[in-house]
Amino acid sequence: MNNRFIEKIYTKKSIEKIKRKIALLGIYNKIEWVDFMNTRLILSLIIFFITFLISPYAFILSPLITIAFYVGMELIVLDYRIKIRTSKLNYEALFFFEVLTLSLETGRNLKNALELTVKNIDSELSHEFKYTLDTIEYGKTLTEALTDMKKRIPSDTINNVILNITHSNVFGSEIIETLYNQVDYIREKQLYEAKTKIAKMPIKISIVSVIFFIPIILLLILSPVLINLIS
What the chain holds in terms of domains, given with CATH numbers, is 3-87 (no CATH), 88-191 (1.20.81)
> How far, in Å, CA of 166 to CA of 145, rounded?
10
> How far, in Å, CA of 79 to CA of 167, rounded?
30
Please give the angle made by the CA atoms of 175, 177 and 183, to the nearest 5 degrees.
100
Tally Cβ neighbours within 10 Å of residue 66. 20
DSSP 157-208: HHHHHHHHHHHHHHH---HHHHHHHHHHHHHHHHHHHHHHHHHHHHHHHHHH
Q: What is the pLDDT of residue 7?
A: 73
pTM: 0.80
Tally Cβ neighbours within 10 Å of residue 14. 12
Q: What is the pLDDT of residue 226?
A: 64
CA 221 to chain centre: 47
Q: What is the pLDDT of residue 209?
A: 63
Tell me the H-state helices in the chain. 3-9, 12-23, 33-54, 58-74, 81-105, 110-120, 124-136, 142-150, 156-171, 175-208, 214-230
Q: What is the pLDDT of residue 184?
A: 93
In eight-state DSSP terms, residue 80 is I
> How far, in Å, CA of 161 to CA of 215, rounded?
50
**Residue length of the chain:** 231
The pLDDT tens digits of the residues spanning 156-192 come to 999 999 998 898 877 766 788 889 989 999 999 888 8
State which residues of the chain have pLDDT below 50: none
